[in-house]
Amino acid sequence: MNSGKTYDIQNPKALLFSLCFVLMFAVMNGTMFNIAIPDIAESFNLLPSQVSWVMTGYIMVFAIGALIYGKLTDTIALKTLITFGLCVFSIGSLVGFMAPNYTTVLIARLIQAVGGAMIPAIAFIAPIRYFPNERGKILGIISSVMAFASGIGPIMGGVIGGFLNWQFLFLTSSLIIITLPLLRANLPQEETNFVKLDYLGAGLVAGFIVSLLIGITLSYPISFIFSVVFLILVVIRMKTAKNPFIPPKLFMNQSYVITIMVSFLAISCLFGLMFSVPIMLRDVYGLTTLQIGLTMFPGAMSAALIGRKGGQLVDQKGSRTVLLWSMLLLMTGFFIVSTTVGLDPIWMSLSLIFPMMCFPLVQSSGADTLASILKDRETGVGMGVFNLLIFVSGAISGAVVGITLDVFRPQVPANPIGILGEGAVFSNIFLVFMGLIFIGFLIFKTLFKTYVVKAES
């Protein structure tokens, strides 16, 4: 499947709409269940450590699946992958809706993750493959949908769980299958070349991701030892296998490594913001779940609205320029939020617009930069690593913020114009995020080198 090939898309708008629709369902499926965790625990009389696997298990399988599907897109037709993924996801959703016990709920979530991991992989590959002349704009739209769904998911989860019950979240997720006929009708015909997958390499990568995420999300120190062992084995396998699961030459490209490093840093801070703001609004302001969702809604809407324009800027000005400017805006946004902690919730809601609108800008410009760097046969696995880092970044930032809130509770903010009080710790967290973005900005500006890829025959 060469990037130079022209694909016959009968209805590009319908294809884009269906991709956005299915992606919105997939992202909402993750964020909706955050709200349902206490209700599930109450239904089955579970401890917090037990019910946490509803999210932890889903994240682990989803992260691994995103990388594997990314690898498979280089050789298997997207129409085949998306048919498999949506069917499996819907089956998992129906199993969860009818689940009589917690074990079945957990199995349903894992089945959902197996199918749902296909969605972000294809959502980022499709614009690169089918819309090469509008790649930046389409990636901007895709990223804005992800940002909007992340913001609207908790609201939907609260409404559905409040008026019905948590099982109807599974039923809502199963509606994703209605997009399959539209996707199949508009995806072009492609050849499927089944090749032997490096199963040992894939297994070692999976072991590394699982042990790392368990260590991060459940605070098991021994898991980090296993993750180091798996990482060493992954590197050895990459160097010795004839066709390794992840080709080592991918990481010999300095521009690729710098781009994923900086994107990881920026997206980690954004996920850290989305993790810490609901806690802040509850602890500092005493808001209800619905009020928290409404406070964050303007930020989610700004992300949805800015995505398409940001994507057009990527096409016009270049992804490197947009990524640099979006990081400067993100730094400014974090400083504004750090300063307004403790003010009226309306001011906090307005200040959140600045960093949250940068989510699609960072994601689309980062993805477009990678697309211009990667060779034809590296696009799938290269973007798969990018998607993998997105999900791992969420787990890492959430764990770090959680530990910070457990250990530190200063009353004086480091921000010189911040407000004294119990919100000081959150002000400091946002100030640290600003500093990390500044480091990422300097790394990208000084070390990134323009790299033009020639299409493979």
Mean pLDDT, range 276-298, rounded to an integer: 78
What are the pLDDT digits (tens) for 26-65? 878 777 776 677 677 778 887 666 776 777 778 778 878 8
- What pLDDT score was predicted for residue 308? 66
Q: What is the 3-state secondary structure (H, E, C) of 285-311?
A: CCCCHHHHHHHHHHHHHHHHHHHHHHH
What are the pLDDT digits (tens) for 186-219? 777 777 666 677 788 888 888 888 888 788 777 7
Instruction: Mean pLDDT check: name the lowest of 192-201, 228-237, 327-336.
Output: 192-201
- What pLDDT score was predicted for residue 457? 36
CA distance 223 to 433: 26
- Among 402, 301, 297, residue whose Cα is nearest residue 348: 297
- What pLDDT score was predicted for residue 233? 93
- Among 375, 372, 364, residue whose Cα is nearest residue 451: 372
- What pLDDT score was predicted for residue 373? 79
pLDDT at 88 over 90: yes
- What pLDDT score was predicted for residue 194? 62
Our CA dihedral for 418, 423, 424, 427, rounded to 10 degrees, sits at: -60
162/358: higher pLDDT: 358
Instruction: Mean pLDDT check: name the lowest of 2-6, 139-143, 374-378, 380-384.
Output: 2-6
Q: How does 136-157 read in b/e, with b if 16+ C-beta sit within 10 Å?
A: bbbbbbbbbbbbbbbbbbbbbb
pLDDT at 376 over 70: no
CA distance 428 to 244: 43
Exposed, middle or buried: residue 344 (CB in 10 Å: 0-12, 13-18, 19+)?
Answer: exposed
Instruction: Mean pLDDT check: name the lowest of 65-74, 151-160, 398-407, 446-455.
Output: 446-455
Rank 22-31, 111-120, 262-271, 434-443 by mean pLDDT and report only the highest.
434-443
Mean pLDDT, range 392-416, rounded to an integer: 75
The percent of residues above 70 in pLDDT, for the chain, comes to 90
Instruction: Mean pLDDT check: name the lowest of 89-103, 204-218, 328-342.
Output: 204-218
- What pLDDT score was predicted for residue 433? 92
Mean pLDDT, range 252-265, rounded to an integer: 86
pLDDT at 453 over 50: no
pLDDT interval class at 368 (50, 70, 90): confident
> Half-sphere exposure (CA, 13 Å, Cβ side) for 282?
9
SS3 for 331?
A: helix
- What pLDDT score was predicted for residue 26? 80
Mean pLDDT, range 116-123, rounded to an integer: 83
pLDDT interval class at 335 (50, 70, 90): very high
CB 273 within 8 A of CB 430: yes
DSSP annotation string for 82-103: HHHHHHHHHHHHHHHHT--SHH
- What pLDDT score was predicted for residue 107? 92
CB 268 within 8 A of CB 396: yes
* Residues near 416 by beta carbon (within 8 Å), at least 6 away in sequence: none
Rank 40-54, 85-99, 232-246, 285-299 by mean pLDDT and report only the highest.
85-99
229/190: higher pLDDT: 229
Mean pLDDT, range 77-105, rounded to an integer: 90
Mean pLDDT, range 303-324, rounded to an integer: 77
The answer to whether the pTM exceeds 0.85 is no
- What pLDDT score was predicted for residue 95? 93
Mean pLDDT of the chain: 80
Q: How does 380-419 read in b/e, with b if 16+ C-beta sit within 10 Å?
A: bbbbbbbbbbbbbbbbbbbbbbeebbeeeeeeebebeebb
Instruction: Mean pLDDT check: name the lowest of 223-232, 316-325, 388-397.
Output: 388-397
Mean pLDDT, range 99-119, rounded to an integer: 89
